[in-house]
Amino acid sequence: MGTAAYEVWHGGSLVGLLLDITTDQPWFRCRFEPRAGWDRLGPLFAAQEEARRLHFPEELIGAVAAVRDLGVELRPVDGAEGDGETILPWMIYISEGRASFRY
pLDDT of residue 84: 80
Rounded distance between C-alpha atoms, residue 59 and residue 95, angstroms: 20
* Bridge partners for 17 per DSSP: 7, 33
pLDDT tens profile 26-44: 999 999 999 999 999 999 9
**What's the whole-number mean pLDDT along residues 79-94?**
83
Query: CB–CB of 73/87 below 8 Å?
Result: yes
**Does the global pTM surpass 0.85?**
yes
